[in-house]
Chain A
Amino acid sequence: MVLGDLFTSRHQWENVDKNPLPSDVPDVDEVGATSAPLVSAAFYIGAKCKPYNDDFMLCKDENNGGSIECLKEGRRVTRCAIDVLRDINKYCFDEFKLHYECLEQENHRLGHCRSSEGVLSKCIFNNLKLEKKIPGVETQIHLNENPIYQGTSKDKKKTAEFLRAREAAAAAPATN
């Protein structure tokens, strides 16, 4: 591959930041969760991080969308989201996984994964005291007992299986 060598392979490519931020700007980790877990956790992140998010948006409004002025607020938003994700992973890993895998199968449509969402929200409320609340609507759709989209049978089956396994795991030590 002579041409390949000449045009592409001879370039050294290194994954480093050529123009790093000045040292007075503190380092912040990036959120590592991908799209489906983020969709799944979005309302809980919103519930926990509302003050930081509002602060960030206020800063953006006041500074004409300033990307330099709002770095501090942005770091707080990122850190808060990371905290929530870490907590969810710590206390509700399996429920979280159940829900975001369902979302991934169902084109990220929350209406098709209500069974697993119920399990996840229960776990998160019990452990983290966070509650999903959709702002600015009359009825909270996820609490509707008889919604138009009933969810997929696959999600219901997997959730039922999950709950059964959970019960069996809870009952096993008691019998021993």
Chain B
Amino acid sequence: MPVPFEGLLPYAIMTAFFGLAGHGVGFVRYWDNGWKKDRFDLDQWDERMMNRDFLLTGVRRGQSSDPIAPESFKTAEVKLQKYYSPYSEQYFSFRERLYRGYVTGNWDFS
């Protein structure tokens, strides 16, 4: 006896919604990166270079191949200001996990 299609409807719905959620998040992340894939497994050098890119282009994940930086770049700097918030040391954004290699298993426990 074949399974009536009504019996499989819940699975179809589950698959559809899990797919929608996953691909939706993927799409938002891709869009948020300026239509580029995520960076991951970043070390200090990479993060420093990404901050430098931000100072040069003014957008996250922006790239430019100009040989000479604008004059303002020589003195440009970003100061990271932190404010107190409880559990701020415990929380961990997904992007941070991806950057540090937690997701791909290249986590540095040192």
- 8 Å CB interface, A81-107 against B: 82-83, 85-86, 88-89, 93, 96-97, 100-101, 104-107
Pair B53/A35 contact, Cβ less than 8 Å? yes
A43 CB, min distance to chain B CBs, angstroms: 16
Contacts A16-B75, A30-B74 hold; do A37 and B65 have CB atoms under 8 A apart?
yes
A-B interface contact total, Cβ < 8 Å: 77
Pair B63/A86 contact, Cβ less than 8 Å? no
Pair A32/B74 contact, Cβ less than 8 Å? no
Chain A interface residue count, Cβ-Cβ cutoff 8 angstroms:
29
Task: Provide the bound-state CA to CA distance between A86 and B67, in Å.
Answer: 5
Which B residue sits closest to A107, measured CB to CB?
Answer: B39
Contact residues of A: prevailing secondary structure: helix
Pair A85/B67 contact, Cβ less than 8 Å? yes
Pair B64/A34 contact, Cβ less than 8 Å? yes
Pair B76/A15 contact, Cβ less than 8 Å? yes
* Residue among A30, A101, A105 with most chain B CB within 10 A: A30
- 8 Å CB interface, A1-54 against B: 15-17, 29-38
Q: Spell out B's residues near A (CB within 8 Å).
A: 36-41, 46, 49-50, 52-53, 56-57, 61-70, 72-76
Q: Spell out A's residues near B (CB within 8 Å).
A: 15-17, 29-38, 82-83, 85-86, 88-89, 93, 96-97, 100-101, 104-108
- List, sorted by A's number, 30 A–B pairs whose CB atoms are closer than 8 Å: A15-B72, A17-B75, A30-B69, A30-B73, A32-B68, A32-B73, A34-B49, A34-B53, A34-B63, A34-B64, A35-B50, A35-B53, A37-B63, A37-B65, A82-B67, A82-B68, A85-B67, A88-B65, A89-B67, A93-B65, A96-B65, A97-B65, A104-B36, A104-B61, A105-B36, A105-B37, A107-B38, A107-B39, A107-B40, A107-B41
